[in-house]
Homo-oligomer: A and B are copies of this chain.
Amino acid sequence: LNLYAIIMAGGSGTRFWPLSRRRRPKQFLPIISERTMIEETAARLDPLIPTSRIFTIAGADHTRIIRELVPDIPSDNLLVEPRGRNTAPSLLLATAAIYRRDPEAVVAALPADHLIRDGGRFRERLASAAEAAAANDLIVTFGIPPTFPATGYGYIRFSREEPLRAGSADFRRVLEFKEKPDEKRALEFLRAGTYFWNSGMFLWKAKTFARMLETYAPDMFKWWTAMLTALDDGSPAAMTRIFEGIPSISIDYALMEKAEGIVMGEGDFGWSDVGSWSSLSEIWDADDDGNSGRGRLLALDARNCLVFNPNRLTTLIGVEDLVVVETDDALLICRRDQDQEVKTAVQALERADDDDHL
């Protein structure tokens, strides 16, 4: 069983503005620990997957940063997506690159910017998932048992029938991928007990992926064969043309929502997609008043605030439920339950052509 990893590092991560910028989005920042998220993601695979079998895919702009941050990964494995076109095109390209090396390879597609607290358990689950994918010609995904009626995640509905056993884990048949629900639906999903959060992590044998595309996503399969040809020809220009033509869609939409033969393992390894500033409040240690952050904090009658200001003293007086982020050139103060609106602020800066702050 030759297990490979594709670390998907193409996200722009505007939700962590002003810390994340075009040149250095979230996956290249030390948000969770002293190391950047992509470093954590690569290190977490050791010793299960050797660096020679770890690939990354990102835009050309970010490939230099990746080389600096994870220098153990061979340069040839740092794949470049000529255009940012969502996850489907980048996973087609990365899987095609691995397919050319070994069609029997099992590929684990892993976002570069997720938190996994229990690395040991993660590798154990990944090994079992790889066994399931290798032996059964299936796509394997990880579902996260929901702890609240989240509206910020997609959901996976799974079957209650007898699970498939592989390695040390059970895998349940996926019945349906669901887009992000509204609050009412999210509550229904939570109560039903058969909906887990979609972690965005997938495993497949390279040749199974090709077959699945051919069967369930023939429009995308055309692009797959074109990519293989471009790789065979060593033609970056051809690949650029492909990325200019291919639809910008997620792998969920392109394949998962249509395919049969997907199973789900339980992602019981302390996962978080760290999707926004406020999500860090579950990750960083808080004081007795619920304040957490990076940097020195003087809190007087302040509660449930999240402060990222590593270089200055922050004094909070009489405030609550704030997200505060300070960088060299920008300060963000946001009500905690509105931190998704950080995107709106970034859009306003884009409209103003304020490249300095983007």
Interface residues of A (CB under 8 A from B): 18, 298, 300-301, 309, 312-319, 322, 324, 326, 328-335, 337-339, 341-342, 344-345, 348-349, 354, 357
- List 5 extra interface pairs beyond A313-B331, A317-B342, CB under 8 A: A309-B331, A312-B329, A314-B330, A314-B331, A319-B335
Known: A312-B329, A329-B313, A357-B313. A319 touches B334 (CB 8 A): yes
Are B317 and A345 closer than 8 Å at their CB atoms? Answer: yes
| Bound-complex Cα distance A345 to B297 (A) | 11
User: Which of B318, B329, B333 makes the CB contact (< 8 A) with A319?
Assistant: B333
Are B341 and A318 closer than 8 Å at their CB atoms? Answer: yes
Q: Please name the residue on chain B nearest to A352 by beta carbon.
A: B298
* Min CB gap A241→B, angstroms: 39
* Min CB gap A332→B, angstroms: 5
User: Which of B313, B318, B333, B344 makes the CB contact (< 8 A) with A330?
Assistant: B313
Task: Tell me which residues across on chain B come within 8 A of A330, comparing CB atoms.
Answer: 312-315
Task: Tell me which residues across on chain B come within 8 A of A357, comparing CB atoms.
Answer: 313
**Contact sample, A vs B, 14 pairs, CB 8 Å cutoff:** A298-B345, A300-B345, A312-B328, A314-B330, A315-B330, A315-B331, A315-B345, A316-B333, A318-B335, A319-B335, A324-B331, A326-B326, A326-B331, A331-B331
| Bound-complex Cα distance A342 to B357 (A) | 31
| Bound-complex Cα distance A216 to B329 (A) | 58
Q: Please name the residue on chain B nearest to A335 by beta carbon.
A: B318
* Min CB gap A118→B, angstroms: 34
Are B322 and A319 closer than 8 Å at their CB atoms? Answer: yes
| Bound-complex Cα distance A316 to B341 (A) | 10
Task: Tell me which residues across on chain B come within 8 A of A322, comparing CB atoms.
Answer: 319, 333
| Bound-complex Cα distance A339 to B316 (A) | 11
Q: Please name the residue on chain B nearest to A338 by beta carbon.
A: B318
Q: Please name the residue on chain B nearest to A337 by beta carbon.
A: B318
* Min CB gap A2→B, angstroms: 47
User: Which of B298, B324, B341 makes the CB contact (< 8 A) with A348?
Assistant: B298
Q: Which of A316, A317, A348, A357: most chain B CB closer than 10 A?
A: A317
Task: Tell me which residues across on chain B come within 8 A of A335, comparing CB atoms.
Answer: 317-319
Task: Tell me which residues across on chain B come within 8 A of A318, comparing CB atoms.
Answer: 334-335, 337-338, 341
* Min CB gap A346→B, angstroms: 9
| Bound-complex Cα distance A349 to B339 (A) | 31
Task: Tell me which residues across on chain B come within 8 A of A328, comparing CB atoms.
Answer: 312
Task: Tell me which residues across on chain B come within 8 A of A314, comparing CB atoms.
Answer: 330-331, 333
| Bound-complex Cα distance A331 to B302 (A) | 14
Are B315 and A18 closer than 8 Å at their CB atoms? Answer: yes
Q: Which 8 A-B pairs have the closest CB atoms?
A: A318-B335, A318-B338, A317-B334, A313-B330, A315-B332, A314-B331, A317-B341, A315-B345
